[in-house]
Amino acid sequence: MIYCDIEGADSLWPSMSNRISDELGTRVMEDIKSEDSLSSHRHGDTLPYIHKVGAPPKQNLFYEIKDAVKETFFSDNPLGHFKDQTRSRKFVLGFQSLFPIFEWGKEYNLSKFKGDLISGLTIASLCIPQDIAYAKLANLPPQYGLYTSFVAPLVYAFMGSSRDIAIGPVAVVSLLLGSMLSDEIDPNSSHDYLRLAFTATFFAGITQLALGFLRLGFLIDFLSHAAIVGFMAGAAITIALQQLKGLLGITHFTKNTDIISVMRSVFHSAHHGWNWQTILIGVSFLTFLLIAKQIGKKKKYFWVAAIAPMTSVILSTFFVYITRADKNGVSIVRHIKKGVNPSSASEIFFSGKYLSSGIKIGVISGMIALTEAVAIGRTFASMKDYQLDGNREMVALGTMNVVGSLTSCYVATGSFSRSAVNYMAGCNTAVANIVMSIVVLLTLELITPLFKYTPNAVLASIIIAAVVGLIDIDAAILLWKIDKFDFVACIGAFFGVIFKSVEIGLLIAVAISFAKILLQVTRPRTAVLGKLPGTIVYRNILQYPKATQVPGILIVRVDSAVYFSNSNYVKERILRWLTDEDAARTENNLSRTQYLIVEMSPVTDIDTSGIHAFEELFKSLQKREVQLILANPGPIVMVKFQASNLTNLIGEDKIFLSVADAVATFGSKVEEP
């Protein structure tokens, strides 16, 4: 590194230049001048050399489109491992990409199987009572919950990339399906309700498959974390309130899901519709389940929470059987069909009046199921430090639900409670899902008649205990502390679900998420910059109160790409900064603003409307006798400036590599008042 004092620079440059040119060429000469310019910055703002802003080499249209498509859809370079491979090897790699079990299965051993066996048996004991309960939540016969936990996990085990996720019916999707299907068909009056459920499941799978194959997984990210927190909490409360029918033994109950209708139905039936034996059973086992859940939060006692639902079912069933409480008004399951899944391929609506309803319900439930599964998969993947391929997950989940719709299953996805138990039980691979599936198969073949006397109050208790975990108060508090707009999105989704319906809550969640994006895009932040004392660094004067503004120069930073949606706002906001600044300087008898520097390093892109906005800004500043100066435009922005001749309009001598360079050049030219 070569440094020289500014005063001696003129006498030293000729001899240095000749010597360096002979050895390294003139380009090195420019680099050394640049280093000297940095050295001079340490003493002041006068620079002997200013770097010009460079622009990348021009690309033709084909390569620009190619790069844009690649970054949008193939940013993870999914075909990278196929490079330089033989044809046979590419076939093997492609097969393994579609069925990951054949990739990790090569290293599978007895030690891993022990962990998977324990995990599979544990989550099976949890899923069987939950499946029966969740099927009733979807207004389906209980065996369809078990069917779903038999076929779907098998398909996922072969195609999924998560090692920890446990597949099956979940409370939120079951409620969503039950609510939306009931709006179309009365579940008790027609076989078409069941057919519509299979149709919705089929199109949920098609939606997920399409998103995976077309690599459109980024679409689910539009449902923000804040909106999901509110939606899940609202759904949890709605689900819990719906279980008051079974918990209190109410016979006539509203079909609406909003909190007002549910509570009105509960209180109207208080004098004649509640059953004390049912309440005793329900409250007793709910207390037991909640205590077990608290104990299970300690990792070494996770099994307590895992076996509590099955323990509750066994004990309550035995109690009802020996006391014949069902003859005293205690509602029981009565019958679960024995045997494996019958085919339902002929039951799906591919035409007729219910086709459009099936597609609509399928798309909505498929997106919600996908969001939940990907979020759960990513959570556990980060905990175990491995990569989860989002698009591969979508293909796996989509295939799973398409196959499920043909085999009497309804929409399945990843369950957070079961996945958490699976993780704590020490699962190693997706074989845990296979073990769970086999246990469910044995249950269907051998022991479903034993559930005949299971009281519905216990199933209601199991659901309530399961959904309590979906209410994340700490997350809501954190949202309030970090971002008030995120908190509004959370609360909006929450109240939409509990006061109207699950669909309305979901719509509000999506709408608020999009509103936030639009607000951020259309109203980007701008900031006035000042110089930090003793440096050449320019920062936001609100963040750094000690930063001082340069006399006669206003420096504004635009913190966003400039597009048609915000270009006019950016121009007007800069002019408003200028007006306010001039008013303040006039009041304090300071130099009026003669130069406006726009710091453009955060401006990642600009479109035609943005170019026009800068042209109009330039003309407006000319009328005010203020010169426009640009600092640090990025490569894409610079290419578009040159293509539009904006650089010629503004002047290439007014486009600088940094704010410091611009101030060093024009700071001395400011006219005193």
pLDDT above 60 for 9: no
The Cα–Cα gap between 348 and 357 comes to 12
The Cα–Cα gap between 533 and 510 comes to 46
- Identify residue 128 by its one-letter amino acid code: I
Position with higher pLDDT, 92 vs 182: 182
In 3D, which of 386, 461, 370 has the Cα closest to residue 430? 386
Q: Domains, the chain, ranges and CATH? A: 61-98 (no CATH), 103-251+265-333+357-518 (no CATH), 524-669 (3.30.750.24)
Burial of 568 (0-12, 13-18, 19+ CB in 10 A): middle
- What's the pLDDT score for residue 382? 81
In 3D, which of 71, 52, 75 has the Cα closest to residue 63? 71
pLDDT above 70 for 34: no
Per-residue pLDDT tens digits for 221-280: 777 788 888 988 998 999 899 888 888 888 778 877 888 988 888 888 877 778 888 999
- pLDDT-based confidence at 365, cuts 50/70/90? very high
Contact 252, 273 (CB under 8 A): yes
List Cα–Cα distances, 127 to 4, 375, 411, 625, 647, in angstroms. Answer: 76, 20, 15, 74, 66
CA atoms within a 13 Å half-sphere pointing along the CA-CB vector of 17: 9
Burial of 188 (0-12, 13-18, 19+ CB in 10 A): exposed
- What's the pLDDT score for residue 81? 67
Arithmetic mean of pLDDT, 115-138: 92
- What's the pLDDT score for residue 76? 62
- What's the pLDDT score for residue 613? 94
- What's the pLDDT score for residue 228? 86
Q: Average pLDDT of the chain? A: 85
Q: What is the DSSP letter of 606?
A: B
pLDDT above 60 for 7: no
* Residue owning tokens 């043909």: 406
Flag the least confident range among 85-99, 167-181, 600-614. Answer: 85-99
- What's the pLDDT score for residue 17? 39
SS3 for 190?
A: coil
User: How many other C-beta atoms are found inside a 10 Å radius of the C-beta of residue 578?
Assistant: 20
Burial of 182 (0-12, 13-18, 19+ CB in 10 A): middle
Per-residue pLDDT tens digits for 580-628: 988 988 888 888 889 999 999 999 999 999 999 999 999 999 999 999 9
pLDDT above 50 for 559: yes
Arithmetic mean of pLDDT, 555-565: 93
Q: Which residues pair with 558 in a beta bridge?
A: 526
- pLDDT-based confidence at 299, cuts 50/70/90? confident
- Identify residue 278 by its one-letter amino acid code: T
